[in-house]
Amino acid sequence: MEKVTVKELPELFGTIAVKFEENAELLCEMDSKMGDGDLGLTMKKGFGGLPEIIRTMEEENFSRKLRKAGMEMTDLVPSTMGMLMGTGISFGGKALGEKSELDGEGLVLFLEGFCSGIVKRGKCAEGDRTVLDCFAPAAKKARALLEEEKGASLKMICEAALEGAKEGVEATKNMVPKFGKAAVHANIAYGVADQGAVAGLIMIEGMADYIL
């Protein structure tokens, strides 16, 4: 796949939703040790609702459609991670500007915008052991490839982003949590990947399932 059109957005997010449904139990299990234990259910509900939200939206502009869909997701699952993911999608859409489809460059812009949304909403930084520590390395790896190879395809950019996301999740095993219940249980966090970062990886894996 070389591009994702506005009409294909429900299918893209439908594939991501399937990935979250498959991993809901894993996320809940991880979250039960350092969170509220409902992360998997939250992500399953939020991303499960996105395809229909997008499908029934009258807006046809690619950027604005994503912006509105992200905002509606925050209403559907108003938890911390729901707000972060929804805001990320909204900011990712905003970063696309006037682009009418998602190509290689568009995916880079979307991921960078996604990170901006997380930072703004979560007041976090790289290294704080959050979902940002998945998306930031993904965006950086994607950007580096685009600068190295102008006109890199959507598939190439997606592969780079997936590689960066995996590296980012692995790196969280050595980070000290600073937010929420995980910070209280910091002593058992060492050596274990951050559950929020894992959720971010699952989203990018879902995108890869559709694009690749």
Query: Over its length of 212 residues, how does the chain's per-residue pLDDT go in tens digits?
Result: 899 999 999 999 999 999 999 999 999 999 888 778 899 999 999 999 999 999 999 999 999 999 999 999 999 999 999 999 999 999 999 999 999 999 999 999 999 999 999 999 999 999 999 999 999 999 999 999 999 999 999 999 999 999 999 999 999 999 987 776 666 666 676 789 999 999 999 999 999 999 99
What pTM was computed for the model?
A: 0.95
Distances (CA, A) of 88 to 2, 95, 109, 120, 151: 23, 10, 12, 9, 25
Helix (H) or strand (E) holding 101: strand 101-102
